[in-house]
Structure formats: C-alpha cells, structure tokens
Amino acid sequence: MWGPPPRRIRTGTAGTTELGMGIHGEPGLRTTRHLTAAELTDELVGNLLPELPEPPPGGRGWVAVLLNGLGRTKYEELFVVYRQVNRRLREAGLRPFRPEVGEFVTSFDMAGVSLSLMLLDDELAELYDAPCDTPAFRSLPGRTRPGTTNGRRRRPQHPPRQRHLTRRPMRRPTRGSTCG
C-alpha cells in the first residue's frame, strides 16, 4: 500500500453535532449538542452571511442557495432546514434565487447537511439560470424562476435577454482515443 494508512472516518458521539465536518468525515470546526433546525440554520447562515460580498448598489439581493443532504438525511428534514434558511436570508434582506434542495454531493452513510450561498448580480443570475445537463447537476428549462408564480410567467420588470442554446450530440470516444 502506498502513502499513509487511511484514517478512520470520524463518527460523532451520541447526542452531538459536528459543525464544519468534511464530506469524507474530516474533523469539523467544533462539536456541539444536537441542534434544532432553527438553531442549526442560525449557525450555518449566521457564519456564511458575513462571508458574502456586499450586494451591488441597486442590486436585487438575489442569492443562490444549495442545501445539500449528505446521503442519510431525509428530504423532509432538508425542507425543514430550508424553510429556516429562507426565513433567515429574507430577514437579512436577501432573496433566494432558484434554491436547490437535494442530494448533490453525498458520502456513504453520512447524515447531515451542507449549505452553499452565492450572491448574484443580473449577469450571474442569468448564467445560474441557464439550462444544463451534466452527470453531476441538471437544470432544465421551464423551472419556476423568481419572475414566476406557480409556473406561470409574470410580467417581467425588464425585457429578458435572448438566450440561444446550441445542443451538440455527444460523441463517443473511439477505441484508443483519450478524452480531454
């Protein structure tokens, strides 16, 4: 075997929560008692908000939200946490832009959540909202966006920019070829 021996994945003690733990069990920032959804959200959002840049003057205050379940967290629990995240962001004057809640990066038998936030200006919002279809992430046209209600389009505040999407068929590599 090459390299150092593998480290045992860190497991928490009963009744505790590890904050900042890595996706593969790397030690976190600190260990605390189990937290309610509201307490956990206060901790997560409270630590991330000061790290966000100041919104541009006259900006819309949009923030991309990705709430990730680590593999063993039930979807019901994710949406309970998201409800609190949404509340905290709105209290801070930010508007969640097409939030993503689900399992995006998981680890075998790992319970918990990770939260990613990104402040968006108009250009980043348009790029974030563009359709994509990759093995790791899929965002398809026709999803509800901030300018919509229940999937029905509201009158936009400004005319949308034209978007052109060219889809090329994937080419299978030939025998002996390399990808990249």
| Residues labelled as active-site residues | 24
Beta-carbon contacts of residue 45 (< 8 Å; ≥ 6 apart): 85, 88, 89, 92, 115, 117
Helix ranges restricted to H, 49-157: 75-91, 122-128
- Written as one string, the DSSP assignment of 34-69 is ---HHHHHHHHHHHHGGGSPPPPTT---EEEEEEEE
CA distance 143 to 137: 14
3-class secondary-structure state, position 14: coil
Among residues 34, 2, 37, 29, the alpha carbon closest in space to that of 17 is found at: 34
Residues 22/27/32/38 CA torsion (nearest 10 deg): -10
